[in-house]
Structure 1
C-alpha cells in the first residue's frame, strides 16, 4: 500500500509518537509510507529511514483560522494529487477535518483516528457539524475507546474499529529496579493533565512518606511552581522538564500517577504499565484508563478532581509493599494487550481491508 500519514506536527505528544511509530512499522513491513505534517518543529519524533517526510509549510501559519485551513487543505490536496496514495490516515481533530476536502475527486481513501475525548476535541458548533456530518464520509475510523466511538453517528461506528496504542518494546523489556523510589508522573504541563491535583494530593501525605514526587513534561511550569511553593513542598516536588530517558526513570519508580481531567488513550500510563510500575489514575473520559485497567484494578481508578481519593490511593500503595508489588505485576500483565506487534497487526489488517 501507498500510505500518507497526516498530523499537524511530530512534536511532543502521544498521538505524535504513535503516528511516527506506526508509519515506521508499516514501512518496515513493505508499505510505501510518507508522514505529512502541517509544519516542522524544533524537536520532532523520528521516523524510520524508509519513511518519507513532507511539511506542507516551512513555518506555522498565523492569522485567520478559515484562511489558514483553506491553505493547508489546498497544499495537502496538491501533494495527494501528485503522489496518489491509496490511503490518507489522519490523526487529531484539525487534520481529520481537512481530510475529506483534501481528497474529494481523488482515488485516495480516508481513514481518520480520533485521539482524544470527542466531547472536548469537537466542541463548538462548527466542530460538531464537521464531526457529525463531514467525518462520516471517511472510509474508515480508528478509535481508542468504545466511549469515544459511541459519541459519533452510527454510520461511523459501522465502519470503525477500536485499537489500543502500541507501546515501544523498550518499556516491556527494561528491568525493574529492586529498590524503586519516588512517585512519577509524565505529561505536558497543561490544565488537561491537572498536575495540580496530584501535587495537592501529595502535599496531604508528604510528611508521612519519604518518597518525593517528580513530574516530567514540557510546558509553562510557573503556576505549578507557585502552587508547590504555596504548599511548602519545594524540597519534595520537582519539575525536571522533558526527559529522553523515560524507560529508565519508570524502571526506578515506586509509583506512577495519572491525574488528567480527560484523555484519549493515555500513552504515558500505558508505558508505565508496560514497565510494571504500580499505577494510579483518574477515571477520566473518554474511558482510556478504565479500558486499560482490568476489573481487579478499578480500585486504583479515582474520580476526576478528587484530591482525597488520590491521596488515599497513593498512601495505600506507598505503605503496603506487598500490595504494591502485586499491583505492579497486574499492571504488567494487563499491558500485554498493547504489545507493538499485536497492535500493528490490527492496524495493518484494518488498512488493507479499507484499501
Structure 2
C-alpha cells in the first residue's frame, strides 16, 4: 500500500512523534510511505525516521520563501502535483490547516483522504476562515479520525450529518513499551512534567503549587521539559518564589521517556489537550500520574481516574492534596504505576492501534 502522510512540520511535538511512530511501523511491514512536511521550512526530522520512508519538504518545491498567501498557494499546488505523481492509495493528514490543504489538493483525483483532528475541534481556537474551511474538509474527506470517544460524541452532536467519523487513539512507541522504569536508590526524588511552555499547559500553576509543597517535601524537585514562549516568564516565577535549584526548566529531549523513566511522579496541569502523548508515555513507563481532568484525553486514558490520580480542572487545593498523597506514599506510587502500565499497554500498544488504522484503510477501500 502507498501512503502519503501529510503534516505541518517534522519538528518536536505530539503529532510529529505519532507520525514518526506510524511511518516507521508502516514501512517496516512493507508499505510505501511518503512523509510530507507541508507548511514548515526546510530542515531535518526531530524524531528518527526509517530510511525506507521518503521525506518531502514542500518548501523545496516552491519558488517563494516568504511566509505569505502566495507561498501557501504554491505549496498547495506542489502538494497536488505530488499527489498526481505519487498516486497513493490513501492520504493521511494531521492538523487543521494541513487537513484543509490535503482535501483541496486531492479534489477530483479519486484519492481517499483521512483527516485527523489532534485536539477537540469544538474547543480549539480557530479563525473564522479556518473554521469554515475545516467544515468544508470534514464533508469532503473520505474519513475523519479523532482520538477519543468524548470528542467523537461531541462531533456527532455538532455535525449530525457527519457519518464518516472514527476513533483512533495514539500508539505507544515500541521502544518505550519495552523500557522499564529505572529508579536506582538516590537521595532526591523528582516530579516530572513536559510540554510546550505555553498558556494551555499551565506550568505556572504547577510551579506555584510545588512551591507550597517544597518546604515540607525538601527531598523532592520539579523538572519541566519543553520550550516555548513563556520560558522567561516561568524562569522569573521560579526566582520570585525562591525555587531556584528546586524547579528546573530542562528544555527539549529527543528521547523524553528516558528522562521520565528516571523520575518518580508525572504531573500534567493542562487546561486543554487532545490525546496527550506525554501522559500515555508516562503511564506506559509505569509512572504514577497526577493530572488535571481537562478536555479531552486524560479521562479516557486513565479510565476515569482508575489508573491515575485525576484532579478536577484547575482545582489547586485538589492538586496540592493529590501530590502530597502520592509523594508521601511509596507503595501507592508503585501500585498506581503498575496499574497504569498494564492498562495502557493493553489498550494502546502499537499493534492494537495499527489494527485500527488497517480497519480504516479497508473501510475506505484503500486496501482489500
Q: Find out whether 1:251 has 2:261 as its counterpart.
A: yes
| CA distance 1:97–1:9, shift in 2 (3 Å) | same
Contact 1:170 1:247 in 2 (8 A): no
Confirm or deny: 8 A CA contact 1:93 1:122 kept in the other structure.
no
Query: 1:187–1:278: structure 2 CA closer, same or farther, 3 Å change rule?
Result: same
Which residue is equivalent to 1:57?
59
Q: Distance in 1 between matches of 2:150 and 2:304?
A: 17
Aligned residues: 352
Number of the residue aligned with 1:217:
226
- Per-residue deviation, 1:42: 5.2
Structure 1: where are the runs of 5+ without partners? none
* Structure 1 stretch displaced more, 184-193 or 271-280: 184-193
1:129 shift after superposition: 1.5
Cα distance in structure 2, aligned partners of 1:243 and 1:40: 21
Residue in 1 aligned with 2:30?
30
Q: Residues 32 and 53 of structure 2 are in contact (CA less than 8 Å); yes or no, is this contact kept in structure 1? A: yes
TM-score, normalised with respect to structure 1: 0.93
2:248 aligns to what SS in structure 1?
strand
Which portions of structure 1, spanning 4 or more consecutive aligned residues, are displaced by more than 4 angstroms? none
Does structure 1 residue 174 correspond to structure 2 residue 179?
yes
Q: Are residue 284 (structure 1) and residue 279 (structure 2) matched?
A: no
1:263 maps to 273
Cα deviation per residue 1:103-129 (whole Å; 9 max; x = unaligned)? 111021110010012134453322222
CA distance in 2, matches of 1:298, 1:273: 8
Report whether the alignment pairs 1:138 with 2:141: yes
Does 2:317 match 1:308? yes
SS of 2:114 mapped into structure 1: strand
Residue 184 (str. 1) matches residue 192 (str. 2): yes
Does 1:353 pair with 2:353? Answer: no
Q: Which moved more, 1:41-50 or 1:189-198?
A: 41-50
Q: What is the RMSD of the two structures over their aligned residues, measured on CA atoms?
A: 2.0
Residue 217 of structure 1: how far off its partner (Å): 1.0
8 Å CA contact retained: 1:122, 1:128: no
Q: TM-score, normalised by structure 2?
A: 0.90
